[in-house]
């Protein structure tokens, strides 16, 4: 239809049509400013499918939920903005999920920014001037904001005001700009990196912890329904047991098991299918993957169970030290399979047991020591 209309335009008509179109584009650009980020924002598609949309749909973190529910309810009754909230905790536990559910529960609009992209105060200005009354500004990875941006945020959080400096040198002028009252929600995996003044400006600080087996099983069962796949409850439990107490890991494992079930079985996730699928990915009953086990095996075989320096272990594994520290160690340390001592990393009896080795494997170490005696 559109094509026919265009074809019907005469040359003169076409020029007029183009001019009108250009004018419209120009006015569109200059007159109305698009909200910076509208919902749905930068979440990945599959993420959006499984991410709860309201706090009520979230599983676990009951104490955090109870406190937030009271705060949201009270703010609604007072018709005032909710106080600023900071979420911290390890990756994949629901910080972003809470931050996106809260504005929906409040029925207000929200914008999302990432600390990593806020390099200077000017990057933050459009977000702050765009806030609606009582709306939510969510800054993910807030610890990655430079000090200058943090300081710029202080008056915005405390008095809903920003101080702008115009011009330079003797001509410089400062203007104070009033903002609409809003709620700042920050999320971080490294709250220790935030400056104390920024941390103190959050009325609520909520720490998210790992999920229990029951909670994770519930998440897996609910998400299987969302993915339209049938799952046995033992299979849901099996997947959860191997998911390191983390919903994001559980979701990823579930997606893989679903693929496996659809490709290698009849599409139903039975206990057998779940076990086979996870074994194929090298994920063992404790949730360790190949790399985690290689870390333990290296420590046992080459270093007699430790103590050994992290760099020595990383070099032997042919891995960057940072990768070992950031990706492998958090879980083996948390699972009490390895301990960090001043002399280096040491395996615990549980780790020997898990690898099916007796502690006499450390005989190698004794043997090595004897060589030098
Ligand atoms: N309480 C919960 N109930 C159900 N699903 C959850 C819950 N918490 C997290 N999830 C699921 O886990 C996924 C990861 O959560 P989220 O993105 O909120 O983690 P995060 O703490 O922001 O992680 P990161 O620090 O890496 O940004 C979500 O997509 C969601 O599907
Ligand atoms: Mg997040």
Q: What is the pLDDT of residues 282-337, one digit of tens each?
A: 999 889 999 899 999 999 889 888 798 889 999 999 989 888 888 888 898 998 99
Calculate the alpha carbon distances from 305 to 52, 318, 349 in Å.
Answer: 43, 18, 9
Query: For position 274, what pLDDT does the model report?
Result: 94
Could you give the angle at which helices 233-241 and 247-264 cross, rounded to 10 degrees? 130
- Whether the link from the prior residue into 166 is cis, omega within 30° of 0, is no
Full set of structural domains in the chain with CATH? 2-31 (no CATH), 45-207 (3.40.50.300), 213-280 (1.10.8.60), 290-371 (1.10.10.10)
Specify the DSSP class assigned to residue 359.
G
Distance 339 CA to ligand 1 centre (A): 28
Distance 204 CA to ligand 1 centre (A): 19
Q: Under a CB-based contact definition with an 8 Å cutoff, are residues 113 and 127 in contact?
A: yes
What are the tens digits of pLDDT across the range 73-107? 898 888 888 999 999 999 999 999 999 999 998 88
Nearest protein CA to atom 9 of ligand 1, as residue? 94
Calculate the alpha carbon distances from 186 to 69, 143, 245 in Å.
Answer: 18, 9, 23
Three-state DSSP class for residue 7? helix
Q: Which atom of ligand 1 is nearest to the CA of 89?
A: 21
Three-state DSSP class for residue 251? helix
Task: Mark whether 248 is an active-site residue.
Answer: yes
Task: Mark whether 183 is an active-site residue.
Answer: no
Q: Which atom of ligand 1 is nearest to the CA of 247?
A: 12
Residue 59 CA, chain-centre distance (Å), reads 16
Distance 300 CA to ligand 2 centre (A): 35
Q: Which ligand is nearest to the CA of 188?
A: 1
Q: Which ligand is nearest to the CA of 51?
A: 1
Given 140, 289, 292, 295, the catalytic residue:
140
Place of tokens 């029925």: 107
Query: For position 30, what pLDDT does the model report?
Result: 39
Distance 95 CA to ligand 1 centre (A): 6
Helix (H) or strand (E) holding 360: none
Task: Mark whether 140 is an active-site residue.
Answer: yes
Angle at 246 between CA 254 and CA 290, to 5 degrees: 70
Token code pair at residue 240: 């959860």
d(CA 19, CA 13): 10
Distance 268 CA to ligand 2 centre (A): 31
Q: Which atom of ligand 1 is nearest to the CA of 61?
A: 1
Task: Mark whether 11 is an active-site residue.
Answer: no
Task: Mark whether 364 is an active-site residue.
Answer: no
Sheet harboring 85-88: ordered strands across? 110-114, 136-140, 183-188, 85-88, 204-207
- Report, as ranges of residue numbers, the positions in the chain whose pLDDT lies below 70: 1-48, 359-373
Dihedral sign (CA 273, 277, 282, 285)? negative
- Using CB distances shorter than 6 Å, the residues near ligand 1 are 47, 50-52, 58-61, 91-97, 187, 189, 219, 247-248, 251
Query: For position 46, what pLDDT does the model report?
Result: 52
Token code pair at residue 259: 């693929």
Question: How many angstroms separate the first and last alpha carbons of the chain?
Answer: 92
Given 105, 161, 180, 189, the catalytic residue:
189
- Burial (CB count within 10 angstroms: exposed 0-12, middle 13-18, buried 19+), residue 204: middle
Q: Under a CB-based contact definition with an 8 Å cutoff, are residues 139 and 113 in contact?
A: yes
Q: Which of 42, 51, 227 to mutate to test the pocket of ligand 1 (most atoms within 8 A of CB)?
A: 51
- % helix / strand / coil in the chain, to the nearest 5? 55, 15, 30
Rg over CA atoms, the chain: 27
Given 51, 95, 201, 345, the catalytic residue:
95
Three-state DSSP class for residue 341? strand
């Amino acid at each position: 239809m559109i094509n026919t209309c265009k074809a019907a335009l005469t040359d003169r008509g076409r020029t007029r049509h183009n001019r009108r179109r250009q004018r419209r584009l120009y006015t569109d650009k200059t007159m109305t400013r698009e909200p910076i980020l509208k919902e749905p924002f930068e979440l990945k598609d599959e993420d959006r499918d499984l991410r709860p949309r309201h706090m009520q749909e979230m599983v676990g973190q009951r104490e955090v939920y109870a406190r937030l529910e009271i705060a949201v309810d009270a703010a609604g009754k007072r018709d005032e903005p909710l106080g600023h909230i900071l979420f911290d905790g390890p990756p994949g536990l629901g910080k972003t999920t809470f931050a996106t559910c809260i504005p929906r529960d409040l029925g207000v609009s929200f914008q999302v920014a990432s600390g990593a992209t806020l390099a200077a105060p000017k990057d933050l200005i459009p977000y702050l001037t765009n806030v609606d009354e009582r709306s939510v500004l969510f800054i993910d990875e807030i610890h990655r904001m430079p000090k200058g941006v943090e300081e710029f945020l202080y008056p915005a959080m405390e008095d809903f005001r920003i101080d702008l400096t115009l011009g330079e040198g003797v001509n410089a002028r400062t203007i104070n700009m009033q903002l609409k009252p809003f709620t700042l929600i920050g999320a971080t995996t490294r709250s220790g990196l935030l400056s104390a003044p920024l941390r103190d400006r959050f009325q609520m600080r909520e720490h998210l912890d790992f999920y229990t087996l029951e909670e994770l099983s519930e998440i897996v069962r609910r998400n299987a329904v969302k993915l339209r796949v049938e799952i046995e409850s033992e299979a849901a439990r099996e997947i959860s047991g191997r998911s390191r107490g983390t919903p994001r890991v559980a979701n990823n494992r579930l997606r893989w098991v679903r693929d496996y079930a659809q490709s290698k079985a009849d599409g139903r996730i039975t206990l057998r299918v779940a076990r086979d699928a996870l074994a194929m990915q090298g994920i063992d009953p404790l949730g360790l993957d190949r790399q985690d086990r290689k870390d333990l095996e290296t420590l046992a075989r080459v270093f007699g169970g430790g103590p050994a320096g992290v760099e020595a272990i990383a070099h032997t594994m042919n891995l960057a030290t940072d990768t070992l520290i950031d990706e492998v160690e958090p879980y083996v340390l948390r699972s009490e399979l390895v301990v960090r001592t001043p002399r280096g990393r040491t395996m615990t009896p549980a780790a020997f047991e898990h690898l099916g080795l007796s502690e006499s494997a450390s005989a190698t170490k004794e043997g090595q020591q004897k060589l030098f005696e």
